[in-house]
């Protein structure tokens, strides 16, 4: 765990100057931390290999990000259309999100932040020849009463402007965006919708239209309460004759190279240091699983107390946190199931 150099010299001098009980204590601590780290490495090095290999392979750009940013009715809209579009994908982000999260910073969008899961979903959509457009919610979370009419007007204008009215329209909404999309689909003709980490508002609707679109629930069973509600809503929709399906996203163990593979700008050396830090602080258990999600883990404080310097300063903080949330698998956007999602959507075009 410790490399030769200043750290090992400091440790040796500290041990040499201690009394015997102190020596035993220090050596015991070193052995414990080293053992914990080795367990983290050893136990999960082969685990979830298919997840890592598949995710890393899909990070390669198949389509270059080249979005257009517009303000329509004082609302930010970011979109990108492939050269030969086959369908249109509308995305509704979660609470506190933004359309800026779905593309990397580039000349067409200098303020974009490109969170790993959001941008990968867009890249996968473009690679499947889906035109993509995302609307930024002005406030924190979506409210159909406030946002429904505005979004419908923007969608109609945008589809007409780009001559995409006749193309199949599908939707994906995450968290708050999923609840919003479940209601929007009662008034907008979608061929299929994906509700990600959201159960929808079906129990609040006066009625579910007969032509309600096929619905795919992508959720994380660790969120037991939401999972139960999703099961009830699946039964409710099926009784109405609505085709439904679900994809369950499970937690997985991480390795020292996970963050380096997923977060653009984070090299493998820094990724390994972060992994070592998280193991030593007990944020990651001996099998490589997160003890809690990134939002509830004091990893930022631990990072401040360490000698690890992140490239680009705090710019990558949200990127790292998202991947920690994803590994814990309680409530986070995920692109790891993109292949299944887009295969399902294509069967409904």
The pLDDT value given to residue 46: 43
Contact assessment for residue 266 and residue 260, using Cβ atoms and an 8 Å cutoff? yes
Q: Which residue carries 């209601």 as its tokens?
A: 183
The pLDDT value given to residue 6: 40
User: What residue spans in the chain does CATH classification 3.40.50.1820 cover?
Assistant: 65-250+333-346
C-alpha 319/C-alpha 333 separation (Å) is 12
The pLDDT value given to residue 140: 86
Q: Name the nearest CA neighbour of 205 among 240, 248, 247.
A: 240
DSSP 2: P
At the second CATH level, the architecture of 65-250+333-346 is 3-Layer(aba) Sandwich (3.40)
The pLDDT value given to residue 49: 52
Residue ranges of alpha helices (H) inside the chain are 6-16, 20-44, 49-58, 116-127, 144-161, 176-184, 224-239, 258-262, 268-280, 299-305, 317-328, 338-346
The pLDDT value given to residue 57: 46
Q: Name the nearest CA neighbour of 237 among 267, 193, 268.
A: 193
Which residues in the chain come in under a pLDDT of 70?
1-62
For the whole model, what pTM was predicted? Answer: 0.84
């Amino acid at each position: 765990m410790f490399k030769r150099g200043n750290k090992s010299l400091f440790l040796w001098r500290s041990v040499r100057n201690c009394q015997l009980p102190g020596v035993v204590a220090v050596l015991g601590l070193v052995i414990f931390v080293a053992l914990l780290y080795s367990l983290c490495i050893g136990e999960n090095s082969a685990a979830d290999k298919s997840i890592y290999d598949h995710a890393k392979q899909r990070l390669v750009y198949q389509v270059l990000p080249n979005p257009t940013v517009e303000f329509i009715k004082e609302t930010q809209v970011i979109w990108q259309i492939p050269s030969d579009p086959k369908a249109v994908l509308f995305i509704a982000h979660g609470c506190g999100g933004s359309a800026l999260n779905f593309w990397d910073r580039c000349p067409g969008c200098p303020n974009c932040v490109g969170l790993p899961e959001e941008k990968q979903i867009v890249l996968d959509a473009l690679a499947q020849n889906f035109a993509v457009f995302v609307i930024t919610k002005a406030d924190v979370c979506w409210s159909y009463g406030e946002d429904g009419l505005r979004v419908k007007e923007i969608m109609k204008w945008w589809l007409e402007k780009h001559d995409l009215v006749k193309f199949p329209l599908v939707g994906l909404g995450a968290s708050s965006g999923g609840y919003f999309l479940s209601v929007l689909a009662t008034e907008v003709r979608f061929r299929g919708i994906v509700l990600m980490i959201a159960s929808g508002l079906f129990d609040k609707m006066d009625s579910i239209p007969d032509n309600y679109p096929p619905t795919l629930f992508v959720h994380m069973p660790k969120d037991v309460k939401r999972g139960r509600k999703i099961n009830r809503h699946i039964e409710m929709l099926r009784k109405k004759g609505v085709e439904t399906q679900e994809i369950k996203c499970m937690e997985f163990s991480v390795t020292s190279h996970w963050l380096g593979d997923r977060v653009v700008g984070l090299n493998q050396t820094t990724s390994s240091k972060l992994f070592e830090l998280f193991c030593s602080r007990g944020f990651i258990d001996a099998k490589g699983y997160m003890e809690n999600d990134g939002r509830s883990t004091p990893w930022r404080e631990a990072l401040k107390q360490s000698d690890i310097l992140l490239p680009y300063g705090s710019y990558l903080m949200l990127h790292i946190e998202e991947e920690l949330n994803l590994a814990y698998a309680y409530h986070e956007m995920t692109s790891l199931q993109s292949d299944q999602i887009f295969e399902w959507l294509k069967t409904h075009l």
